[in-house]
Amino acid sequence: MQRRTAIKTLAGFPAILSAQNRRPNVLFIMTDDQRWDAMSCAGNKILKTPNMDRLAEGGIRFAHAFASNPLCSPSRGTILTGLYSHAHGVTTNGGRSHYLRGDVQGYPAIQQRAGYYTAMVGKWHIASMPTGFDHWCILPGQGAYHDPQMVSPSGRLHFRGYVDDIIADQALVTLETRPRNRPFSIICNFKAPHRDWRPAQRFEKVYDNISIPEPPTFHTSLADRPDPIRNTDMQVGDMPDFFQRGVDRNLPPAERKKLNFQLFLKNYYRTILGVDENLGRILDYLDRNGLAENTIVVYTGDNGFFLGEYGMFDKRLMYEPSIRIPMLIRYPAGFKGGRVDNEHMALNNDVAHTFMDFCGLSLPPLARSHGMSWRPILEGKAKWREDWLYENFEYPGPHCAPKARGIRTPEWKLIHYIQQPEAWEMFHLPSDPEEHKNLAGSGAHREQLEKLRRRLDQLRTETADDRSEDHTPTEPCENRMGRPA
Ligand SMILES: [Ca+2]
C-alpha cells in the first residue's frame, strides 16, 4: 500500500525527479583501526556491538574482507577512488606522499555531478582538502578524542564533548538539513578505535572487572623472521602509552607487557562501544525517516590491527590481523540480507566500485582493474577475483614497518620485502593460519613461489604500477615506536 501511494505521488513530478528518487542513497561509515573481529557479529566474546550486529542481520557481512594497504591514509585514498595506492598517490600517512594525485577523483565527485547531495563528516586524514562534496566538516589530521576541533570550508570549529558523539551529531545534522529533492551520499568517518584509545567517559569503567585473554602467539618470538620484520618496533611490552594511565615505568618487562595488554585491549574495546552507540543513532534516524529501505549502508574500518598476536600492536604488515577488516553492507531494496559471505575476498578497493554500480554510474577507466563491484555477489551470482595485491610504502616511519608488496589468494600469501637486501615470506593459510612457517625457502614449494611471483608481477602490470618504488635504498629507521597520539 505504501509503495502504491509513493508511485501515485511521484506521477505528478517531472520524470527526472522520479528517476532520481529511485536511485539509492549511500551512507558510508568507517572507523579507524577496527579489525575484522572487533564486533560481536564476527564472534567477539567480550565486545558487544548490537548496532553493528543489526547492520549485519539486515545485510551481508564479508568474513574475508581486506585492506590492500593497511594504513590509515593510503586506505582512505583507496576507499574514495577504488584504486590501489600506487595509482591514487597516497602512499604514506604524511609528507609528500600524503596527497591524492591531481588526476584522480573520489566517487563522491562523480555522484555530485550526477545530482547527488554529497557530504563528508569526521576523520579525513589525507593532505589534499576534500573535493566533490556539497558539505564537509573534518577533523584536522588525527583529531582529538576530547573537545575536538573540526575544519569546514568556513573555518575552524571548536566543540565540547567526545569526538565520535560529535561526528555522529554532524552526520545527523547533515541528514536532517540535506536537500530533499536529491539522493544523498554521505561519508561518516569515526576516530575510534585509533591509538591512544581514549573512551567516552560513560564507558571508562566497562571491563574493569575482567581479564582479557592473551592471544596464543602473545609470547611467540619473531627471532626467526626475516630482518625487516625483526627490525619492526611494535611490541605491546614496549608501548609508552600507559605510563600516565596506571603502568609503573619500573615494572619488570614481563609484567609491563601483561599490564599494557590489558589496558590497551580494554580501552580499544571501550572506544568501539562509543562507535556502536553512535552508529545506532544514525541507523535509528534512517528508520524513523523511512530511509533505511533505499539507502546502501557500508560499515568498515580502514585497516586491521594486531591485538597482541606475536606480542604486537598496530597494523601495516601483511600478516592476517593487520589486513583483515570488518565489512558490512545493507541495502534492503537491493538484495536480501541476513547472511555471512565466507566465499569471496572483498577489498577496500571495491567500495567505490560497488557504490557506482548501484547508482548507475562509473569510475574512470583506470579504476577497472583495481576493484570490483560486489553487486553480483549480493545478487547471488559472481565470477570473482582469485587474488589481490598488498602494498606498504611508508618507510622509514612509525614502527619501522618495512616497504613491502605481496599477493594474497584464498589459500596462499607471498610477501616481498622490497628494500635491499630483499626478503620473502610465503604462507599456506589453511594449514598455517597463524603464519608460523615461512615456506619461501622451501625446495618443495619452489614452483608455488614462482607461480605467485609471476602473478604478483602480472597484477602490478594490470593495475598500471609505474614501479617507482622498486629501487629505493634501505634507509635507517629512527621513528621507532611512533608517538602515542
Ligand atoms: Ca587506521
408 within domain boundaries: no
* Domain containing residue 103: CATH number: 3.40.720.10
Ligand 1 centroid, distance to 251 Cα (angstroms): 30
Q: Which three cell numbers stand for residue 283?
A: 541507523
| Spacing, Cα 77 to ligand 1 middle (Å) | 12
At 351-364, the pLDDT tens digits run 999 999 999 999 99
Would 276 be classed as within a structural domain?
Answer: yes
Residues listed for the chain: 485
How far does the centroid of ligand 1 lie from the alpha carbon of residue 35, in Å? 10
Determine the Cα–Cα distance for residues 171 and 165; give it in Å rounded to an integer.
10
188 closest CA partner among 325, 329, 28: 28
User: Is 97's pLDDT higher than 80?
Assistant: yes
pLDDT in tens, 66-84: 999 999 999 999 999 999 9
**What CA–CA distance (Å, rounded) separates 294 from 330?**
10
- Within-domain flag for 248: yes
Pick from 231, 227, 224, 221: which is nearest to 423 by CA? 227
Domain enclosing residue 75, as ranges: 22-385
- Residue appearing with cell numbers 576541533: 149
Number of structural domains in the chain: 1
Cβ < 5 A residues, ion ligand 1 = 32-33, 72, 302-303
Residue 38: inside a domain: yes
Query: 416 in a domain, yes or no?
Result: no
The CA distance from 52 to 192, in Å, is 14
Query: Cα of 434 to ligand 1 centre, how many Å?
Result: 22
Task: Give the Å distance between the CA of 70 and the centre of ligand 1.
Answer: 7
Q: Is position 113 within any domain? A: yes
pLDDT in tens, 146-183: 999 999 999 999 999 999 999 999 999 999 999 999 99
In angstroms, what is the span from residue 479 Cα to ligand 1's centroid? 18
β-bridge partners, 235: 312
Is it the case that residue 185 has pLDDT exceeding 50? yes
Structure confidence at residue 483 (pLDDT): 57
Task: List the grid coordinates of 70.
Answer: 593497511
Residues contacting residue 12 through CB under 8 Å, at least 6 positions apart:
none
Q: What is the pTM of this model?
A: 0.95
Say yes or no to pLDDT of 143 above 60.
yes
pLDDT at residue 468 greater than cutoff 50: yes
Q: Collect contacts of 414-421 with beta carbons under 8 A, ≥24 apart.
A: 414/440, 414/449, 414/452, 414/453, 414/456, 415/318, 415/390, 416/453, 416/456, 417/226, 417/228, 417/229, 418/469, 418/470, 418/472, 419/228, 419/395, 419/472, 419/473, 419/474, 420/473, 420/474, 421/227, 421/474
Residue 268 lies in a domain: yes
Compute the distance between CA of residue 359 and CA of residue 352 in angstroms, rounded to an integer: 11
How far is the CA of 296 from the CAs of 38, 151, 328, in angstroms? 22, 27, 10
Does any domain span residue 381?
Answer: yes
Summarised one tens digit per residue, pLDDT across range 32-61 is: 999 999 999 999 999 999 999 999 999 999
* CA 50 to centroid of ligand 1, rounded, Å: 23
Looking at residue 480, its pLDDT comes to 74
* Structure confidence by residue, pLDDT tens digits, 381-408: 889 999 999 999 999 899 999 999 999 9
Q: What is the pLDDT of residue 15?
A: 40
Cα 289 to averaged position of ligand 1 atoms, centre (Å): 32
Q: Output the CA 195–ligand 1 centroid distance in Å.
A: 9
